[in-house]
């Protein structure tokens, strides 16, 4: 397999339909980042965390409390496979790629056609930090350092 080479790009999330499959901590993390950008989001999860349900009501997210079906991909451009079921995540990945959709497989950047960076957003300023999926913790640490530096300068 060729090594991945990710090109950073910003997508107009207001015109992009995003599907998150899964209702656990990783799905919640993705959801919390996406709602900052007015994304049109659908979440499909058998047992979503209460925080996901709460965000769904507050932020007008389409929440489907049920199992994933292949037809859930229809009409979406970005797919996040965030379940705790590896086989299901791989199935979603294969289906998405077959339909030429961009897919992010949680915890397996090698299977992903895109990755999500650690993001800091304040009004019109957006800073994204990535380690190409190899060390998300380091990306978050660098993002937080930048965030703290900017807060100190504005104080």
Residues of the chain with CATH 3.40.50.720: 13-111
d(CA 146, CA 3): 29
The highest-confidence range among 3-17, 59-73, 119-133, 141-155, by mean pLDDT, is 59-73
Closest to 117 (Cα-Cα) out of 107, 102, 129, 104 = 129
Residues of the chain with CATH 3.30.160: 118-154
Residue 98 pLDDT more than 80?
Answer: yes
Q: Which fold has domain 13-111?
A: Rossmann fold (3.40.50)
Hunting for tokens 């950008």 — which residue is that?
37
* pTM, two decimal places: 0.89
pLDDT the model gives residue 152: 79
d(CA 124, CA 65): 34
Q: Which fold has domain 118-154?
A: Double Stranded RNA Binding Domain (3.30.160)
pLDDT the model gives residue 155: 65
């Amino acid at each position: 397999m060729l090594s991945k080479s990710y090109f950073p790009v910003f997508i107009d999330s207001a015109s992009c339909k995003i599907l998150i499959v899964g209702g656990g901590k990783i799905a919640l993390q993705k959801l919390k980042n996406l709602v900052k950008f007015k994304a049109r989001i659908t979440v499909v999860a058998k047992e979503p965390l209460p925080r996901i349900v709460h965000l769904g009501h507050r932020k007008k997210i389409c929440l489907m409390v049920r199992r994933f079906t292949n037809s859930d991909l229809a009409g979406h451009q970005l797919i996040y496979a965030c379940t705790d079921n590896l086989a299901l995540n791989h199935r979603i990945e294969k289906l998405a790629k077959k339909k030429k959709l961009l897919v992010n497989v949680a915890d397996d950047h090698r299977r992903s056609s895109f990755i999500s960076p650690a993001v800091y957003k304040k009004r019109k300023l957006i800073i994204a930090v990535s380690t190409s999926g190899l060390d998300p913790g380091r990306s978050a640490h660098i993002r937080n350092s930048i965030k703290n530096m900017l807060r100190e300068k504005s104080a």
